[in-house]
Chain A
Amino acid sequence: MREIIITELTQAFQDLVRGFAHYLPRLIVMLIIALVGWMIAYLLKVLAHSILRLTKFSKLSENAGATQLLSQAALPSSTELLSRFVFWVAWVGFILLGVSVLGIVALQEYISQFFLFLPRLFVALVILYFGLLAASFFSRAALLAAVNVNFRSSRLLSISIRVIISIFALSMVFEVLGVAKETMLITFGTVFGAVMLSLAIAFGIGGKEVAREFLEKKIVTGKKEEKEDEVSPL
């Protein structure tokens, strides 16, 4: 009995040692991959930071309104955030590569899913960035045009354009990421429809006097609009 227990224990210990000896090189490889990955990820972070600084990315983000959003959320600058993102994506990628070396079957599928998800994440980020940029550009263009023709609700018009383009960009981002596709589609449709309807009602009610005056001048009396407020600039 005693001998059997000793034999079994020895066997179990030997199996453990064998198993450990079997996994140890893989574990070391994994650690080496993670360590090398950290160094490469760090280098990539520094490189990304330099490229973004050279291309004045922070100015672009400021123009796009992204900097304002980030500072309101107490987050670092867009350049710093994107550099960190590059670092973490690269390092997590290397860690998962290292984990795959261990040969744990259950994890293999998740690892491959992560690598398949990366391009989509990148595309989603690009869409989000350019969406914010477009929203900022067009809302500012509308604001300036409206102010220069003395349109009373210039700010409202500008904000509406920003919101519509931002929601459109966000719905595209979620579509690319495959997250809550239907919800985003319905939300976009509802918000867009609501904004258009309210604008139509607002113009209909608020602008009927203006429209009447305009039509009276142009069609009924045929009089040209009197321009007495402009001094010839040139």
Chain B
Amino acid sequence: MAEEMLLTDDFLRQLINVGEVDILVGLRTHNNANTIEPVIRAIQTGILQCFPRERVGIVNADGGSQDKTPELIVGASIDDVWSVSKVYALRTLHSISTRYATSPEPGTALRTILAAADLLHAKACVVFSPDSTTIEPDWLQRLVRPVYNDNFDLVSPIYRRQKFEGALIQNLLYPMTRAIYGYRVREPYASEFAISGRLASDFLNKESWNDESSRLGAEIHLTVAALTGTYRVCQSFLGSKAQDRGASDLVAAMRRTVGALFSSLDSDFPLWSTISGSQLVPTLGAQSEVVMEPARVNRKRLREMFATGVAQLEPVFRSILSESTLSELQRIATLEVSEFNYPADLWAKTVFEFAASYHKSVISRDHIVQALVPLYRGRTLTFLLENRDGSGEDIERNLESLCGDFERLKPYLLEVWADRK
């Protein structure tokens, strides 16, 4: 979709009325009327408390809400917040909205926000999730300050999480991004983040927008673009993360995260193939925080779905996995819950073989991502079992060991990548 198509005449008119801004706050919405009000209030309070002198604009990219979400955003008056915070805004706060499509497309929504940031010459662009019910006013400054004051280009969030939350990030996205690109970014797929105007413009002009997997997993591609380009990346601790509403569909979540990460490997091969080990990125606040709340998980069902997947998808796995990996998975599938163990090194090998098969398109790329779902369930079960009685430090130690395996086995990825199967 061309930039002219993203910016409709009406939206362009609204942007012209806004003029230039220092900070642009982006909200990607679709039927978020139930949660949007506290988010808007927190953003407005954050603006009054931390950026009263800056020119700030709120841009809502809506994917066809039927519950008047855009009206709630545009209609939220900063005066209501003033009565609580007792701080005056020195500038007019503009809130504008556009409907980019009749159904939600997170990539297109992000592109619309970046196009607006580019047009308004924003120095910093921050994106918040409309589902962030746990948002605090100071999240705004925690994300924006490093860009606005310290010239960072990407500020990735760190959350306080329940100990089993974010299993896909902890078991795949973080270890793999870290092993591939050599930077320890805890949330490569972030729903809240801030970027500099320079990164926004550069990323907006990337040709990868024409690729479907790039549009689907734009957040991953943005992180990868920042890590592989000449950009300064840091992390900022925010607080408790609200449950991701869109994460309930595991296959869809895998498509927009794992699919996007795998597809990024194609174009960046010359860059990542030479990287070994990993380095810390500057972090403001805690590196990680875990809440020890008990979670209700049906382990038996996870094991059953893993075992069924390994048995039923055998013909599919034969085109993706090596003989040794497949036979090892078949052995694990026979284990009962009490003795179940999908070892970290085997998991790393599995993911790397999937990534290489994705690169070679041995079967449809979407089918490759879908085939990983039952195996991820098996790995999740091991993650639950090994951290069941563990403290925050134990979980961190296990995660570090998993990341170590991904980094150690990176030469194996290069081997299977080059192998002409």
A and B interact physically = yes
Chain A residues near B (Cβ < 8 Å): 59, 62-63, 137, 140-141, 143-148, 150, 154-155, 227-234
A146 CA to B247 CA, complexed, in Å? 19
Q: How many A-B residue pairs have CB under 8 A?
A: 87
A228 CA to B191 CA, complexed, in Å? 24
Question: Which residues of A have CB within 8 Å of B230?
Answer: none
A233 CA to B379 CA, complexed, in Å? 12
| Residues A137 and B364 in contact in the complex (CB < 8 Å), given A145-B370, A232-B243 | yes
In the complex, residue of chain B having the shortest beta-carbon distance to the beta carbon of A145 = B370
Question: Which residues of B have CB within 8 Å of A145?
Answer: 370
B119 within 8 A of A: no
B395 within 8 A of A: no
A144 in contact with B370 (CB, 8 Å): yes
A232 CA to B191 CA, complexed, in Å? 14
A231 in contact with B308 (CB, 8 Å): no
In the complex, residue of chain B having the shortest beta-carbon distance to the beta carbon of A232 = B165
B301 in contact with A229 (CB, 8 Å): yes
A233 in contact with B250 (CB, 8 Å): yes
In the complex, residue of chain B having the shortest beta-carbon distance to the beta carbon of A227 = B248
A148 CA to B367 CA, complexed, in Å? 11
Question: Which residues of B have CB within 8 Å of A140?
Answer: 316, 363-364, 367
Interface pairs (29), CB distance under 8 Å: A62-B319, A63-B319, A63-B364, A137-B364, A140-B316, A144-B316, A145-B370, A146-B312, A147-B313, A147-B373, A147-B374, A148-B373, A148-B374, A228-B298, A229-B297, A229-B302, A230-B248, A232-B164, A232-B167, A232-B243, A232-B244, A233-B250, A233-B253, A234-B169, A234-B189, A234-B191, A234-B246, A234-B247, A234-B253
Main secondary structure of the interface of B (DSSP, over half): helix
B257 within 8 A of A: yes
Question: Which residues of A have CB within 8 Å of B302?
Answer: 229
Contact residue among A137, A143, A150 (Cβ-Cβ distance under 8 Å from B305):
A150
Question: Which residues of B have CB within 8 Å of A233?
Answer: 166-169, 247, 250, 253-254, 376
B167 in contact with A231 (CB, 8 Å): yes
B374 in contact with A234 (CB, 8 Å): no
Which residues 140-194 in B have Cβ within 8 Å of A in the complex?
A: 164-169, 189, 191
Contact residue among B295, B308, B319, B371 (Cβ-Cβ distance under 8 Å from A150):
B308
B169 in contact with A229 (CB, 8 Å): no
Question: Which residues of B have CB within 8 Å of A62?
Answer: 319
Which residues 247-266 in B have Cβ within 8 Å of A in the complex?
A: 247-248, 250-251, 253-254, 257
Chain B residues near A (Cβ < 8 Å): 164-169, 189, 191, 243-244, 246-248, 250-251, 253-254, 257, 295-298, 301-302, 304-305, 308-309, 312-313, 316, 319, 362-364, 367, 370-371, 373-374, 376, 380, 384
B248 in contact with A147 (CB, 8 Å): no
Question: Which residues of B have CB within 8 Å of A228?
Answer: 296-298
Question: Which residues of B have CB within 8 Å of A146?
Answer: 312
| Residues A144 and B313 in contact in the complex (CB < 8 Å), given A231-B167, A234-B168, A234-B253 | yes
Q: How far is the CB of B329 from chain A (nearest CB, A)?
A: 14
In the complex, residue of chain B having the shortest beta-carbon distance to the beta carbon of A153 = B312
Q: How far is the CB of B344 from chain A (nearest CB, A)?
A: 17
A148 CA to B165 CA, complexed, in Å? 20
A232 in contact with B313 (CB, 8 Å): no
A143 in contact with B313 (CB, 8 Å): yes
Q: How far is the CB of A153 from chain B (nearest CB, A)?
A: 10
A230 CA to B296 CA, complexed, in Å? 9
Question: Which residues of B have CB within 8 Å of A147?
Answer: 308-309, 312-313, 373-374
In the complex, residue of chain A having the shortest beta-carbon distance to the beta carbon of B189 = A234
Question: Which residues of B have CB within 8 Å of A234?
Answer: 166, 168-169, 189, 191, 244, 246-247, 253, 257
Question: Which residues of A have CB within 8 Å of B371?
Answer: 144
Q: How far is the CB of A61 from chain B (nearest CB, A)?
A: 13
Question: Which residues of A have CB within 8 Å of B250?
Answer: 148, 230, 233
| Residues A144 and B244 in contact in the complex (CB < 8 Å), given A229-B302, A231-B384, A232-B165 | no
A232 in contact with B363 (CB, 8 Å): no
In the complex, residue of chain A having the shortest beta-carbon distance to the beta carbon of B254 = A233
A137 CA to B373 CA, complexed, in Å? 18
Question: Which residues of A have CB within 8 Å of B253?
Answer: 233-234
Contact residue among B166, B319, B370, B384 (Cβ-Cβ distance under 8 Å from A232):
B166
Most buried by B among A59, A148, A231: A231
A145 CA to B304 CA, complexed, in Å? 16
A233 CA to B165 CA, complexed, in Å? 7
Q: How far is the CB of A221 from chain B (nearest CB, A)?
A: 20
Q: How far is the CB of A125 from chain B (nearest CB, A)?
A: 23
Question: Which residues of B have CB within 8 Å of A154?
Answer: 308, 312
A232 CA to B363 CA, complexed, in Å? 28
A140 CA to B369 CA, complexed, in Å? 13
A148 in contact with B370 (CB, 8 Å): yes
Most buried by A among B164, B250, B301, B312: B312
Question: Which residues of A have CB within 8 Å of B373?
Answer: 144, 147-148
In the complex, residue of chain B having the shortest beta-carbon distance to the beta carbon of A149 = B251
| Residues A231 and B189 in contact in the complex (CB < 8 Å), given A137-B364, A140-B363, A147-B374 | no
A191 CA to B376 CA, complexed, in Å? 38
A233 CA to B244 CA, complexed, in Å? 9
A13 CA to B191 CA, complexed, in Å? 99
Question: Which residues of A have CB within 8 Å of B165?
Answer: 231-232
A155 CA to B315 CA, complexed, in Å? 10
A143 in contact with B316 (CB, 8 Å): yes
In the complex, residue of chain B having the shortest beta-carbon distance to the beta carbon of A141 = B367
A59 CA to B357 CA, complexed, in Å? 12
Question: Which residues of B have CB within 8 Å of A155?
Answer: 312
A147 CA to B257 CA, complexed, in Å? 20
A155 CA to B313 CA, complexed, in Å? 8
Complex A-B, nearest 9 residue pairs according to Cβ-Cβ distance, in ascending order: A233-B168, A229-B298, A234-B247, A144-B370, A229-B301, A228-B296, A234-B244, A231-B167, A232-B165
Question: Which residues of A have CB within 8 Å of B244?
Answer: 232, 234
